[in-house]
Amino acid sequence: MRYSPLFYAVLCCVLMMLPGAGSLAAAAEAGPREGSIEGYWRGLQDDGVWAFVFQFIETAPGSYDGRIHVYKDEMKVEEVPIRTVQYADGRVSMHVELNNVRVEGPVDIAKQAIEATFLYEDGSTLDMVLDRVDPSTLKGLAAAPVKQGGEYVYEYAKPEGTGDGWKISSLKAEGLAPGPIEDLVTAAVDGEFGYLHSLIIVRNGKLVLDEYFYGHSREAVHRLASVTKSVSSLLIGIAIGRGEIAGVDEGIKTFFPEYGTGMAAGWEDIRLSHILTMSASVGWDQEDLAGFYDSEDHFGTVFKQPIAGMPGEKFEYVSPNVDLLAGVIKHATGLHADQYAEKHLFEPLAFGPYDWEYGKWEGYPLMDGSLHLRPRDMAKLGQLLLDGGQWNGERVVPADWIEVSTAAQMDAGGREEYAYLWWRGSQSLGDKVVEGIFANGWGSQFIFVLPEYDLVVVTTGGNHDNGKHFAPLKMFPDYILQALE
């Protein structure tokens, strides 16, 4: 299912950090004055899959601060600020400044409804009825419930066993002091890491922390964004281990004979390794790059781009190139990548529900960013790396692929290096440098693996455009590694 036009209009804007859960609760408790639109107003889209809750806080008669709480399947995913809200003569008008969308319409105070019209830059419009709603009925409005009359303070509880293959343990039993981890979860609720939806910690192969925020739950799948690329790397490794792909030096043209002479100059030099390391030097036309996901032929759109440099020499992060791996897997194995993943990766790891339908083209799933998994299953992928490709003693991915696919291949700038669709990075902690491997998906979707500490940390979140995407990195020096000392 494709996301609604309103979702794109709202979420494509650059988000700003907003006041935390405490101020939300205070605003809700204060209540609106008579005739005011202060409070919460909800509109629904796609048969209720998407909900948009507009919150108005009156700053002066007729003037308001505002924000939009964006929900999908009753879980809050983000907040979007509205900096200009005016209410006069029975009409409300507001401006989402950073993507230049205006929202306006008549207000029926008696019926507690706003007939809102969204006015977009391209001239298109969208109508939505907003009904006043009691905030106490809105699940996940804040990151976690705030105790009446006091601040939120987290009290650690050992994760629940659900029969999904995880061994369960406690922080203390696995050498983690509870105090810093309790402070970590409290900081997450307070917004120190932006909008986090989940936080998972695994130590010594055992699940020791399993927390969810803003109405999210352990059984809900979450879009992984570019963490999908790292899953794609694992699938290539499995296919090589099974003899279905000869190796990373195999030419890409081998897997796409039907495109033959239709490829631009230079593609005969591109190897599978160049796609895995983001070093194919594809000279994308910006118009083609912008329109790739709406193109009628994903593979053909990639292949018509000429090779603009020497393959293997320069790292350039371009997502559509990775989508060729869907064709590689189908040609090599006879199965589409999602079918192959279910048989050789998801079932062996006892995954729960997953979703890889969004953005499919001709049955080919997007390999660059559309997979949806449960956070606990994301953590299994991290543990798979620590255990050399095994899960609970059973071989899933060849050990040599885990080793080579997580080894540094390209300089990605700064302190980061790129492997085969996995990242490597380091943090300095005093005189010590901590090395890690991670999968990185926009919005704070992360799988962090710290081999030195036998540690896996997973986050999912809604930090897409608020400058907080990398905020979870602060967890390690400020909290998690403190718990190890």
- Averaged pLDDT, 416-428: 94
- Averaged pLDDT, 68-95: 91
Q: Where are the domains of the chain?
A: 5-137, 222-484
Written in H, E and C, the secondary structure of the chain is CCCCHHHHHHHCCCCCCCCCHHHHHHHHHHCCCCCCCCEEEEEEEHHHCEEEEEEEEEEECCEEEEEEEEEECCEEEEEEEEEEEEEECCEEEEEEHHHCEEEEEEEECCCCEEEEEEECCCCCEEEEEEEEECHHHCCCCCCCCCCCCCCCCCCCCCCCCCCCCCEECCCHHHCCCHHHHHHHHHHHHCCCCCCEEEEEEEECCEEEEEEECCCCCCCCCEECCCHHHHHHHHHHHHHHHCCCCCCCCCEHHHHCCCCHHHCCCCHHHCEHHHHHCCCCCECCCHHHHHHHHHCCCHHHHHHCCCECCCCCCCCCCCHHHHCHHHHHHHHHHCCCHHHHHHHHHHCCCCCCCCECCCCCECCECCCCCCCEECHHHHHHHHHHHHCCCEECCEECCCHHHHHHHCCCCEECCCCCEECCCCEEEEEEECCEEEEEEEEEECECEEEEEEHHHCEEEEEEECECCCCCCCHHHHHHHHHHHHHHC
Third-level CATH fold of 5-137: Lipocalin (2.40.128)
- Fold agreement between 5-137 and 222-484: no
Question: What confidence tier does 46 reach under pLDDT thresholds 50, 70, 90?
Answer: confident
List the single range of 32-36, 93-97, 221-225 with lowest mean pLDDT: 32-36
Question: What confidence tier does 80 reach under pLDDT thresholds 50, 70, 90?
Answer: confident
pLDDT (0 to 100) of residue 148: 58
Question: What confidence tier does 32 reach under pLDDT thresholds 50, 70, 90?
Answer: low
Here the tokens at position 318 are 């371009």
Residue pLDDT, tens place only, 273-303: 999 999 999 999 999 999 999 999 999 999 9
CATH 3.40.710.10 fits domain 222-484: yes
pLDDT (0 to 100) of residue 145: 80
Asked if residue 16 has pLDDT above 50, the reply is no
Instruction: Between 47 and 342, name the one with better pLDDT.
Output: 342
* Phi, psi values for residue 401, rounded to 5°: -70, -40
Asked if residue 27 has pLDDT above 70, the reply is no
- Averaged pLDDT, 420-434: 88
Question: What confidence tier does 458 reach under pLDDT thresholds 50, 70, 90?
Answer: very high
- Averaged pLDDT, 208-231: 97
Q: What is the pTM of this model?
A: 0.90
Average pLDDT, the chain: 91
